[in-house]
Amino acid sequence: MTPEHHYSVDVEWLGNRGTGTSHYRDYGRQGLLTAAGKHDIEVSADKTFHGDRDRWNPEELLLAALAECHMLSFLHVAVLHGLVVTAYTDAATGTLVQQGDGGRFTSAELHPVVTLAVAEGAASPSEEEFAALHREAAEKCFIANSVNFPVGHSPRLVVA
CATH of the domain at 127: 3.30.300.20
| Whole-number average pLDDT of the chain | 93
Alpha-carbon distance 58 to 64, whole Å? 10
The predicted pLDDT at position 1 comes to: 78
* 83 within a domain of the structure (yes/no): yes
Question: pLDDT class for 136, splitting at 50, 70, 90?
Answer: very high
- Claim to verify: residue 81 and residue 43 sit in the same structural domain: no
* 148 within a domain of the structure (yes/no): yes
- Claim to verify: residue 22 and residue 80 sit in the same structural domain: no
* 153 within a domain of the structure (yes/no): yes
The predicted pLDDT at position 20 comes to: 84
Alpha-carbon distance 101 to 99, whole Å? 6
* 4 within a domain of the structure (yes/no): no
Residue 129 pLDDT exceeds 90: yes
% residues pLDDT > 70 (the chain): 100
* 5 within a domain of the structure (yes/no): no
The predicted pLDDT at position 122 comes to: 81
- Compute CA 82 distance to the chain's CA centroid, rounded to the nearest angstrom: 26
Q: Dihedral angle at the C-alpha atoms of 133, 136, 141, 142, nearest 10 degrees? A: -170
The predicted pLDDT at position 119 comes to: 80
Q: What spatial distance separates the first Cα and last Cα of the chain, rounded to whole Å? A: 44
* 1 within a domain of the structure (yes/no): no
Residue 69 pLDDT exceeds 90: yes
* 2 within a domain of the structure (yes/no): no
Q: How confident is the model over 44-56, as a mean pLDDT?
A: 91
The predicted pLDDT at position 112 comes to: 96
Per-residue pLDDT reduced to its tens digit, 13-36: 998 998 888 888 889 999 999 999
- Claim to verify: residue 78 and residue 137 sit in the same structural domain: yes
CA angle 73, 75, 80 (to 5 degrees): 95
Residue 157 pLDDT exceeds 90: yes
Domain that holds residue 19: 10-49
Residue 74 pLDDT exceeds 90: yes
- Claim to verify: residue 44 and residue 70 sit in the same structural domain: no
- Claim to verify: residue 19 and residue 73 sit in the same structural domain: no
- Claim to verify: residue 34 and residue 70 sit in the same structural domain: no
Question: pLDDT class for 2, splitting at 50, 70, 90?
Answer: confident
* 37 within a domain of the structure (yes/no): yes
Q: What share of the chain is helix, strand, coil (3-state, %, to 5)?
A: 25, 30, 45
Q: Please tell me the total count of domains within the chain.
A: 2
